[in-house]
Amino acid sequence: MKLYCSDLKEDLPVIILMSHGPFAEALLESARLIAGEIENAAYLCLEEGDNPQDFRKEIEKLLNSFAQRKIVMVDLLGGTPCNSFVSVVNSLKSEVLAVSGMNLPMLLEVISSRKSMTDAELSDCAQAAGKESICNINEKFSLYRMKQEDKNDCVNQN
């Protein structure tokens, strides 16, 4: 198990990433390359050979260590990190915003919006950012190329 927690500010919601393997760690590092230092962020990575019960205990400790609002992002709906999180939250009888299918655009959106949005707004915003970033790049570039060709045709006609 690999656990990390950045510097904390009391007035800023905490983002907690959970994944199979080093994905959560790498995602946070990628976000740092784009957004700079990210305060109030943590990750918990389930590594090969880790005991799921120990992973649940770490989740519980992590959730209990923050007084602030928490935003949890997991890699895979129905995977061990997700299921462990659900189990812990149900046993604690606490409400924590959580979304699955985390990706870089989703994380960047949550980082920039977490202070100004409610949990419901943040959940919708994170999901929309995640979905909107998924596309067929070939189609996108073909559309761009066709638009450029149309512009060139207009210029050549004048």
Q: What is the pTM of this model?
A: 0.86
Residues 6+ apart with CB under 8 A from 105: 129, 130, 132, 133
What is the reported pLDDT for 45? Answer: 98
Q: Is 76 exposed, middle or buried (0-12, 13-18, 19+ CB in 10 A)?
A: middle
Domain 2-157 has CATH 3.40.50.510: yes
Residues 6+ apart with CB under 8 A from 35: 108, 111, 112
88 or 143: whose pLDDT is higher? 88
What is the reported pLDDT for 150? Answer: 62
What is the reported pLDDT for 95? Answer: 86
